[in-house]
A and B are shown apart, each in its own frame.
Chain A
């Protein structure tokens, strides 16, 4: 279904739209307060942009450097060309270690590869341990936001979900009670786990180490308890040096939630004694995106979600309306590269207001890329006949002033004389909730010519 259809379904419940919008605006506002306190914030963004651009231009050598150093540290490194290979690699590691119970900290990459259903099909229990992720997992839904996965759910819905799945008592959505129960439930899962899967926020080529950022400490809980730690990362997560971490950790947390730093920025370098550590490096369409000069900067993304919080459309349409692993503005420039037809409506789910580009901590020109995808989509995917034809006709009218004048006259006459019921009939989506302007008798052109003629007479 197109974004607009899903968004109009979401918009049927205006109250829900209002709190969804308010909740995300609150985060965006917190981000503003936080970044305005940082002297040199814009320079920091420039640095982040520059490091990422440099990394992407030298991705091959940095990846090899990272692999070499990780191996030296005693980590096993695996390469996956796509999601399928990624899932098989993870599955194989789990099998080899006889792992039946897995705890996962939030990772959008494993979402992208649909790892959970793949493992579950073989009887492996996969528990998402980020609270928001656990909530959507219980609801059998994908995350609707990359940082706030269950932001579309209110506390009463969580109450009901927990009653059903965790056997909690009805509590009228008491957040304290619900969090305490979730913690109890998750602690059990951490203790029982045979393996832990985490994502990777930053992988450092220079050291072969990587950093995982969470606010709940769930990545640490998993990785510190389980005998096997599997870290899954996209190829673009590489940064060249340890010293670059400071730039990104400062950018990430503030942009994501307005925090000065994420509660846990956990550095993993080598397996602890007696335990195993694996890293799966995944391409899954990233090198193809890298090959597109207009869109390669989309790979700068550090997954802070700031573009979602600031996007007035995302806030009012909900993450699920994007029907893509990564929703919102950044998702709308990443997804078409994966499946142009399926995601053809996403670059149009924007007014090109540009707020996403201005908020982006690594300065991705998101709105310009949305514009560019539009040009490609109309050429390469089937378009409604009416849209295509009307654009062709408009193009011709606007190329010829005399025709423009004629059509304008007819349009103005119609607006003045046709009954409102006819103007605001079904095919005119404008008129459903908005009035059209009353057509003036005179266009500016006509007024101007009359004025010039009168001047001559004088």
Chain B
């Protein structure tokens, strides 16, 4: 099983520690993981802004980088969802179809492909999960409160096995944090209000660390927490699953 690691553009440049944790975690789990050079972005920023056609170059670059792997794993539910859902704008060659079928969000991959529940991490903190929307309602990484059915959450299943971690429940467990790509800028007022409310929910339930499958949501929440000097730490799920306190 050859696995290609996709590190999204903003993680690559702004949060390299998330990429490192992801790579190290996969190596710990004995995955034959390769990081192909020449990666950029999945094309989502342009596409979600209404400029899908400007993202064709990025899509083709993505497919070229990853077409030879059995699985593509990324620490971003949002990017995996974008590749799956929106890569219909380029011709559907075998390579494109293969890439779309085989791209996985990290937790999904660990739990459902590797079939590992306990990654051997220890992290003795009170953790609040932010269920990033594209992973939740796009990739179905968990059940959501609107839909009637069995309750599950991949990220929480993994965290439950982490030594010392106490999962804290929040009131609105699957409400959007307000990041939404360019939404964070074009609808600044609402975006900030949503983020503030989200943080309040976590603080009120005694959370020490907020985590998620997407650094983009976390960047938005961290931006608010830092500006307002709030007592919260923000970590990507890969960083928790790779930690050993």
| Chain A interfacial positions (CB closer than 8 Å to B) | 3-4, 7-8, 11, 14, 17, 21, 25, 32, 35-36, 38, 41-42, 310, 312-313, 316-317, 347-355, 357-359, 371, 374-375, 377-378, 387-388, 391-392, 394-401, 404, 408, 411-412, 415, 429-430, 432-437, 439-440, 442-449
Contacts and interface: CB of A to CB of B under 8 A. Distances in A.
Contact of B35 (A8, A38, A347, A448): A448
A434 B12 contact: no
Contacts of A400: 40, 57, 61
Contacts of B148: 35-36, 38, 41-42
Contact of B16 (A7, A353, A443): A443
Given A398-B40, A399-B40, A408 B49 contact: no
B185 interface: yes
15 contacts: A7-B187, A8-B190, A312-B175, A316-B194, A351-B176, A352-B48, A378-B50, A388-B51, A391-B49, A395-B51, A398-B61, A399-B57, A408-B9, A412-B14, A447-B19
A4 B144 CA distance: 27
Main secondary structure of the interface of B (DSSP, over half): helix
- Interface size class on chain B is 35 or more
6 closest Cβ contacts across the A-B interface? A399-B57, A351-B180, A434-B223, A395-B54, A354-B137, A374-B50
A391 B133 contact: no
B193 interface: yes
Contact of A439 (B9, B14, B145): B14
Contact of B187 (A3, A17, A388): A3
A443 B54 contact: no
Contact of A430 (B49, B51, B149, B223): B223
Nearest to A402: B38
Contact of A353 (B50, B137, B222): B137
B60 A399 contact: yes
B61 A401 contact: yes
B223 to A, nearest CB: 3
Contacts of B41: 398, 404
A388 B37 CA distance: 29
B179 interface: yes
Nearest to B144: A358
B68 interface: no
A391 B46 contact: yes
Interface string B74-91: 000000000000100000
Contacts of B182: 348
Given A352-B133, A398-B9, A7 B190 contact: yes
Contact of B46 (A348, A352, A395, A432): A395
B167 interface: no
B232 interface: no
B137 A434 contact: no
Contact of A348 (B175, B187, B195, B227): B187
Given A378-B51, A430-B185, A312 B220 contact: no
Nearest to A446: B16
Nearest to A437: B14
Nearest to A35: B148
Contacts of B185: 429-430
A392 B49 contact: no
A433 B133 contact: no
Contact of B189 (A4, A42, A397, A446): A4
A203 to B, nearest CB: 28
A435 B227 contact: yes
B195 A434 contact: yes
B193 A17 contact: yes
Given A316-B190, A430-B184, A444-B7, 6 more contacts: A3-B187, A7-B190, A358-B137, A412-B13, A430-B223, A437-B222
B122 interface: no
Given A398-B58, A404-B40, A408-B13, A11 B193 contact: yes
Contacts of A399: 40, 56-58, 60-61
Identify which of A351, A354, A359, A430 gathers the most chain B CB atoms within 10 Å of its CB: A351
A411 B176 contact: no
Contacts of B40: 397-401, 404
A444 B12 contact: yes
Contacts of B188: 4, 8, 429-430, 432-433
Contacts of B172: 25
B55 interface: yes
Contacts of B52: 375
A351 B183 contact: yes
Contacts of B226: 434-435
